[in-house]
Amino acid sequence: MTYNWTLFCTQLALLLQYVRWEAAHVVGFSMGGGIAAAFAASLPHLVSGQVVFIASAGLLEPANNQTDCAFSRAPVVHCSTDMSAKKTGDSATPKTPQYKEFRDLQASSLPGYKRALQSCYQDGPVRHMETAFDKLATIAVGPARQSLQVLIIHGTEDEVVPIAEADKIKSRVPQAEAVKVEGAAHNIVNADGHWQIVAASLLRFLR
């Protein structure tokens, strides 16, 4: 199976249908950012009006022209895949210690886990989402066909998805508001002192 943006967007659309939601605001963290961009770009009628990208991937380029990365060994600890393992030779050391336990457990217990993550990197939504992000600049969403509002939240010390990725998104989606959290790493959504900024930004933006 190819784990590309089409698969994830289809799953999300089916979920909305199952819970009988006409549309929803969408928040994407890490790899989920690429999924959120693709979802809004391909199914705009299912987006209520706002999209949030937190430490968002989607526009990453392969390091040193390699086709694989630490992503293939990273843990899933949030609603979307968290690329918190950093490649160092043949080993990966997560920035947050408890990630290693999650990573090892999932890699050993979930058949096809590593292959699925590798596909996410090679086939999207970790990379190759330029077209989706570009569409967000002018797209009309939701039943009211309104302009899309976008919020970008990113940590300045993110070693997994560098802060430069937030700037890339902002350049493609000019109307986006960017919140850069000083000192925050990729675990921005659960690190004390940083998650509070994320939560406050979400509450303000989504109200």
**Amino acid sitting at position 178:** A
Q: What is the C-alpha separation between 29 and 36, in angstroms, rounded?
A: 9
Radius of gyration of the chain from its Cα atoms, rounded to whole angstroms = 16
Looking up residue 140, the CATH number of its domain turns out to be 3.40.50.1820
Q: What is the C-alpha separation between 155 and 188, in angstroms, rounded?
A: 7
Share of the chain above pLDDT 70, in %: 82
Contact between residue 125 and residue 5 where contact means Cβ atoms under 8 Å apart? yes
pLDDT in tens, 71-103: 444 443 333 444 444 433 333 444 555 667 887
pLDDT in tens, 141-195: 998 999 999 999 999 999 999 999 999 999 999 999 999 999 999 999 999 999 9
Contact between residue 128 and residue 37 where contact means Cβ atoms under 8 Å apart? no
Mean pLDDT estimate for the chain:
86
Q: Which pair of tokens denotes residue 58? A: 């989607």
- Top-confidence residue, 102 or 130: 130
Contact between residue 26 and residue 39 where contact means Cβ atoms under 8 Å apart? yes
In the predicted structure, residue 112 carries a pLDDT above the cut 60: yes
Domain that holds residue 17: 5-206
- pTM score: 0.84
Q: What is the C-alpha separation between 103 and 67, in angstroms, rounded?
A: 20
Q: How many domains does the chain have?
A: 1
* Cβ neighbours around 48 below 10 Å, total: 19
Q: How far is CA 52 from CA 100, 122, 136, in A?
A: 27, 24, 12
Contact between residue 198 and residue 186 where contact means Cβ atoms under 8 Å apart? no
